[in-house]
Amino acid sequence: MIHGEDLVRAKVVTIGEALQEVAHANKAVTIGDVFQAVARSKAGDKPVDFADAAAIQAAAEICATESGGGEPRGLVAKALQAAETNVKPADERSGGVATVRLNDVLGDAKLPDDKAVTREDVEKVATAARNNAGKRGAGTGKAVVEGMTIAADMNERRMV
């Protein structure tokens, strides 16, 4: 979970810089690392939209498929609920809920089974985001896709 000093730093860090911070030197960069890097970066301040939720869901499903385990439904549900909340005008949100940002959803994300990011994973996540871009006020899902792309690049460089 991201607190205090990390949130202040999140305002000035790019996704690539955050990935360098969370990635371990001798280990492949994982989807969980991407989620943490997005949350820590300045992109983490962005409100969650449906393209973001679709990208998060696609990435979570990749982990579940690879491991044969269950999809982290809590994370996916949290992302979808955030997008639903954010699409409503502020005065129509129940209980005066504020805008839900990527760092609110991804900052404490836990994946039961994590996996190294590959180029194929990037394509799946990018397709999910692209298919939901513009729907119900959705943006592009760019932050998660960018993080996945950078992670795949880092993993490819480590294999060379």
- Mean of the pLDDT values across residues 54-71? 75
Q: How far apart are CA 9 and CA 160, in angstroms?
A: 32
Q: Which of 26-30, 68-72, 99-103, 109-113 has the lowest mean pLDDT?
A: 68-72
Q: Given this model, what pLDDT does residue 11 score?
A: 52
- What the block records as the tokens of 60 is 């979570």
Query: How far is CA 139 from each of CA 28, 65, 83, 114, 132, rounded to the nearest angstrom?
Result: 29, 26, 11, 26, 8
Among candidate residues 110, 81, 111, the one with its CA nearest the CA of residue 97: 81
Average pLDDT, the chain: 84
Q: Indicate whether this model's pTM tops 0.75.
A: yes
Q: Given this model, what pLDDT does residue 43 score?
A: 95
Range of the domain at 36: 4-153
Q: Identify whether 123 is part of a domain.
A: yes
- What the block records as the tokens of 160 is 């060379």
Q: Identify whether 103 is part of a domain.
A: yes
SS3 116: strand
Q: Identify whether 104 is part of a domain.
A: yes
Q: How confident is the model at residue 151 (pLDDT cuts 50, 70, 90)?
A: very high
Q: Is the pLDDT of residue 8 over 50?
A: no
Residue type for position 143: A
The answer to whether 59 touches 125, Cβ cutoff 8 Å, is: yes
Q: Which of 9-13, 90-94, 156-160 has the lowest mean pLDDT?
A: 9-13
Largest interatomic CA distance in the chain = 53
More confident residue, 89 or 41: 41
Q: Identify whether 158 is part of a domain.
A: no
* Overall domain count for the chain: 1
Q: Is the pLDDT of residue 1 over 70?
A: no
Q: Identify whether 133 is part of a domain.
A: yes
